Structure 1
Amino acid sequence: MFKSISKPIIPCLRIFLTLVSLKEVLVVGHKMRGYFSSEYLFYHEGLVTDFVYDFLYTYHEVLIWGAVLFGVLASVGLLARYSLAVYVLLYSVLFYFDNSLGIYNHEAGLTIQILFVLIFAPGVQNWSLDRWIKYGYRATKSIVSYSDWGLKLVLLLVMVGYFTAGVSKIRYGGVEWLDGKTLQYYLSGRASFVNSPAQKFIPVSEDLDWKGSDGIVAYTYGNFQTRPQFIEFGKWVASNDVMMIFLSIATLIFELGSIFMLFWLPYRTLYLLSAVLFHFSIRVFMGLGFLDYQVICLALVDWKYVSTKLSLFFIWMKSKTT
């Protein structure tokens, strides 16, 4: 079921995902400072939340800079597992604060889950200062083989993230989601944050059972793209109804098709590279970078396999031209 591998996937996730997630730590930290200097919104749910509120109010600077410190230590691999464990804890507290403001950060959600797995995953101490200090510089250049159960668990988490996104579209939007109207709304300019009002609120009845009893009273839409040329490009694409239907169907097939990447390396490679382009297109059209997701997908690619296949392809091309 599990096998020993010597690929740099797990250490790459530790190094690069931790560094990229620090950007979100600083963004949430900025929000936290703004909130506690001028309180504007907080969801109280009882005594536990009140306790957490007081704790965050008193120690938010310690949490922010502690997360930065341990994030850097985890990335360079100094006391790698311990630093990563403390970083995940502090990042989770900051993530909780962000959620308390009514915002769910999809990037941070998957990132925290993967970083939590890395705390225990074999191979995480490859390419680390820990190994450099213990064995010398030359030892850090090679990868010590490790069991791939951590890698498979990370792949499972990624698959679940994409697959449930597709299921959610069908569950809450039905077959009508495929008519292209949802994507058209986002790209047509009607949901743009450049327009006034800045954010769209669509009230629904408090009695409506939408996404269970915890459903929100108002659902918000928004396109965060601010560059005029990309906004106009989105409007041009949105003007084509056939293109919108095609992109809607392609998106659903892409998300539901994530399940197959668990079983076949060629498909997984193609899927992960396609996911990078998928998120890049979202950045172009909507200003939502999903940089964490792109780093995760790039780190999970088996680049030795890609290199081998490209070499064989170029050899084949050369044989055809000679």
Structure 2
Amino acid sequence: MNRERILLEHGGGGLLSHELVTEVFLPFFKNACLERLEDSAVVTLGDRKFCFTTDSYVIDPIFFPGGDIGSLAVHGTINDLSVCGGIPLMLSAGFILEEGFPMEDLKRITRSMAEAAKTAGVSIVTGDTKVVARGAADGLFINTSGIGRIEYPSPLSVESIQPGDAILVSGTIGDHGATVLCKRKELGLISEIRSDSAPLNGLVASILAASPNIHCMRDPTRGGLGAILAEIAGQSGLSLSIREAELPVREEVRGVCEILGFDPFFLANEGKVAIFCAAPDAERILDVLRNHEYGRDARIIGSVGERDGGGLILQTIIGGSRVVDLPLGELVPRIC
């Protein structure tokens, strides 16, 4: 990594984020849990398995159709625990406030966090508050951490993915990224798109109850579905084949992407899950997804090939194919 200073792209979930983690943080913090590079660390305490995760939220703007920075922070942490097979138990919340931030906005955000946690069945049990001088932060940043209990017998991990597995996504992609784009004042876009921010613990619990043959799940946030699939292909050495025609995209999202020159495959989601499972169970899992409010637009989008290092291959609508690389950085900075 031949860069002397941090760039916005280092926080985007793409290639530069990967380099930052593997070349700066991992050499110093290296341990068995961290080396897995999953959405949560999985640890064994006694005869029980738990997962632990932490995340920080710096989204701009802090209020958007479908949510705000508070509900987003709760949902994001719950989802990171859930895709590792965890049953979320409790969260922490840390606030970095800029001097002059409106008290009514803080109350609104705190109320939103409380409601999101209650809906998901978890409690915020500890926290911290810091205030910095004007100009030292952009209004409000939030950090959340969470602990979950794992009861699913098989490990959900990139290492568990097998050739022949089916790949599913729980619904339309790019909703959150397109929503935030439309709310950016400098773009002046008007749209009815709403963020898909939602807690996925209930949906994931239904999926896990339906099949003992789920191998891996991921929460495709920064960098979108394309980034997490490219990352998984790179980590596993497996070839992943995705059918572009099966990718579910709302027409409003497609329209925003066409105007701005973006690809919904790489736009952030905050209420979707990508699933790798044994092919014979795919239709059963699809039925479960479509019977849940957060999975009605679910699709089987592709399959896993051999361990040939072929990477992520997109079968295009026009009948061709192309290799999809991990993007350099997030298309839209400060998306979560």
- TM-score normalised by the shorter chain: which range applies? under 0.3
Higher RCO (C-alpha under 8 Å, 6+ residues apart): 2
- Which structure shows the bigger proportion of residues in strand conformation? 2
- Which structure shows the bigger proportion of residues in helix conformation? 1
Larger radius of gyration: 1
With structure 2 as the length reference, what TM-score do the two structures score?
0.22
With structure 1 as the length reference, what TM-score do the two structures score?
0.23
